[in-house]
């Protein structure tokens, strides 16, 4: 049995313990250092420590200033919320794992955040548990029961490995646009290797967003092959537009890979591969640039990811381009 820690040394021992976890720890971790349950309760009553759940204790002195000192505010905190420094996500992620139930692990975008993903915001923490596990629900935490749970990443916060987390993040995203964004960002920031993501996706039997996620993963991880398989003529037929007279994969300067599509009326459409410019900002840029281009030129540029998540908007522009250049 661990020798009890003297009252005068509790804070020093606790501060050393919570440092890797952003200022928090579990009661059992404190007990393992020699600080008994009664001593923990005494520190909480004295308001030197905070109880922020059934299992978790916060040491305010060790926490980032942005986190609430009122324990009742913790369940309403959000990772990536406005005004919240990214560094201060660490204690909230640990808290979610410790308080959600037996064997809980981070999953989806929350797992990717713990693995280093930056710039992707979410309004809740995603946690997964083995099906049948006892769980405790909290505001701001989405718990999913899974069988099997899936392979875990080594070290750090318990979390699902990055390839599977990327796919699940896309499946759980609030929109197709966000689903495409989290895939792009995970590969761009090297959170997941493209080959591993492709292999993991091929092993997924069911997905409610299969028609989107599969093509986007192909675009991001195997751009030239994916572009080569894109049937732009079928998109035109679906809109009752003339089929293109040319569809050819080309490589331009600086490694740019694009699909060169031409129509008999003189309109040319260049579809850029996902690696040409990352993220979804170029999607909005392309829509605006094309609006101007339609006034005086005959070349439209479309990011392939934009064609996946906003096909209607871009095909509307193609239809406008054909109409403006066709004899009346």
The verdict on residue 199 lying in a domain is yes
The verdict on residue 71 lying in a domain is no
Q: Report the pLDDT value the prediction gives residue 82, as an integer from 0 to 100.
A: 38
CB of 163 within 8 A of CB of 258?
no
The alpha carbon of 42 is separated from its chain's Cα centroid by a whole number of angstroms, namely 40
pLDDT at 277 over 90: no
Q: Report the pLDDT value the prediction gives residue 68, as an integer from 0 to 100.
A: 59
Neighbours of 258 (CB within 10 A): 22
Measured between its terminal Cα atoms, the distance across the chain in Å is 91
Domain boundaries, position 8: 1-63
Q: Report the pLDDT value the prediction gives residue 299, as an integer from 0 to 100.
A: 85
The verdict on residue 34 lying in a domain is yes
CA atoms in the 13 A half-sphere facing the CB of 41? 4
The verdict on residue 99 lying in a domain is yes
CA dist., res. 31 & res. 164, Å (int): 35
Q: Which two tokens stand for residue 30?
A: 């404190």
pLDDT at 211 over 60: yes
- pLDDT tier, 83 (very low <50, low <70, confident <90, very high otherwise): very low
Cross-strand partners of 143: 127
**Is 34 in the same domain as 115?**
no
Q: Report the pLDDT value the prediction gives residue 254, as an integer from 0 to 100.
A: 63
Q: Report the pLDDT value the prediction gives residue 278, as an integer from 0 to 100.
A: 54
- Tell me what the mean pLDDT of segment 261-290 comes to: 73
The verdict on residue 72 lying in a domain is no
The verdict on residue 1 lying in a domain is yes
Q: What is the pLDDT of residues 96-121, one digit of tens each?
A: 999 999 899 999 999 999 999 998 98
Q: Report the pLDDT value the prediction gives residue 76, as an integer from 0 to 100.
A: 53
What is the average pLDDT score of the chain?
Answer: 86
Q: Report the pLDDT value the prediction gives residue 85, as an integer from 0 to 100.
A: 33
**Is 135 in the same domain as 54?**
no
**Domain count across the chain:** 3
Whole-prediction pTM: 0.81
Share of the chain above pLDDT 90, in %: 61
- Tell me what the mean pLDDT of segment 118-142 comes to: 92
Q: Report the pLDDT value the prediction gives residue 111, as an integer from 0 to 100.
A: 97
Q: What is the pLDDT of residues 145-179, one digit of tens each?
A: 999 999 999 999 999 999 999 999 999 999 999 99
Q: Report the pLDDT value the prediction gives residue 71, as an integer from 0 to 100.
A: 55
**Is 197 in the same domain as 255?**
no
Q: Report the pLDDT value the prediction gives residue 260, as an integer from 0 to 100.
A: 86
**Is 214 in the same domain as 231?**
no
CA dist., res. 180 & res. 170, Å (int): 7
**Is 125 in the same domain as 188?**
yes
**Is 167 in the same domain as 104?**
yes
**Is 293 in the same domain as 237?**
yes
- Whether the bond between 88 and the residue before it is cis, its omega within 30 degrees of 0, is no
209 compared with 297, residue with greater pLDDT = 209
140 compared with 229, residue with greater pLDDT = 140
**Is 265 in the same domain as 289?**
yes
**Is 197 in the same domain as 82?**
yes
The verdict on residue 69 lying in a domain is no
Cα-Cα-Cα-Cα dihedral of 52, 53, 57, 61, to 10°? -10
CA dist., res. 212 & res. 151, Å (int): 24
- Tell me what the mean pLDDT of segment 297-325 comes to: 90
Q: Report the pLDDT value the prediction gives residue 1, as an integer from 0 to 100.
A: 59
Lowest mean pLDDT among 27-31, 56-60, 194-198, 253-257: 253-257
**Is 95 in the same domain as 210?**
yes
228 compared with 239, residue with greater pLDDT = 239
**Three-class HEC string of 200-266:** HHHCCCCCCCHHHHHHHHHHHHCHHHHHHHCCHHHHHHHCCCCCCCEEEEEECHHHCEEEEEECCCC
**Is 169 in the same domain as 299?**
no
- pLDDT tier, 24 (very low <50, low <70, confident <90, very high otherwise): very high
DSSP symbol at 160:
B
3-class state of residue 101 by DSSP: strand
- pLDDT tier, 226 (very low <50, low <70, confident <90, very high otherwise): confident
pLDDT at 191 over 60: yes
3-class state of residue 261 by DSSP: strand
Buried b vs exposed e over 18-29: b needs ≥16 C-beta within 10 Å?
beebbbbbbbeb
3-class state of residue 270 by DSSP: strand
The verdict on residue 205 lying in a domain is yes
Domain final residue pick, 195, 221, 247:
221
């Amino acid at each position: 049995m661990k020798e009890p820690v003297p009252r005068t040394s509790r804070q020093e021992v606790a501060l050393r313990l919570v440092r890797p976890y952003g200022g928090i720890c579990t009661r059992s971790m404190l007990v393992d250092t020699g600080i008994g349950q009664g001593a923990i309760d005494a520190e909480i009553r004295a308001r030197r420590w905070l109880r922020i759940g059934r299992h978790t204790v916060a040491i305010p002195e060790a926490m980032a200033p942005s986190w609430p000192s009122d324990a009742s505010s913790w369940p309403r905190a959000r990772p990536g919320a406005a005004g919240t420094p990214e560094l201060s996500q660490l204690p909230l992620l640990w808290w979610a794992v410790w308080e959600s139930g037996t064997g809980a692990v981070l999953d989806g975008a929350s797992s990717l955040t713990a693995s280093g993903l930056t710039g992707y915001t979410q309004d809740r923490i995603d946690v997964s548990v083995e099906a049948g596990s006892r769980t405790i629900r909290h505001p701001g935490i989405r718990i999913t029961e899974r069988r099997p749970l899936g392979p875990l990443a080594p070290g750090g916060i318990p979390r699902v490995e990055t390839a599977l987390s990327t796919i699940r993040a896309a499946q759980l995203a609030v929109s197709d646009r966000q689903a495409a964004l989290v895939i792009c960002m995970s590969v761009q920031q090297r959170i997941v290797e493209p080959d591993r993501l492709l292999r993991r996706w091929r092993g997924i039997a069911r997905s409610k967003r299969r028609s989107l996620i599969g093509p986007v993963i192909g675009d991001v991880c195997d751009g030239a092959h994916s572009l080569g398989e894109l049937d732009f003529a079928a998109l035109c037929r679906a809109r009752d537009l003339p089929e293109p007279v040319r569809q050819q994969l080309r490589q331009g300067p600086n490694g740019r890979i694009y699909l060169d599509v031409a129509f008999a009326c003189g309109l040319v459409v260049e579809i850029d591969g996902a690696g040409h410019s990352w993220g979804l900002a170029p999607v909005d840029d392309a829509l605006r640039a094309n609006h101007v281009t339609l006034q005086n030129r005959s070349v439209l540029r479309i990011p392939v990811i934009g064609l996946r998540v906003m096909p209607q908007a871009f095909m509307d522009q193609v239809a406008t381009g054909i109409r403006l250049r066709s004899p009346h």
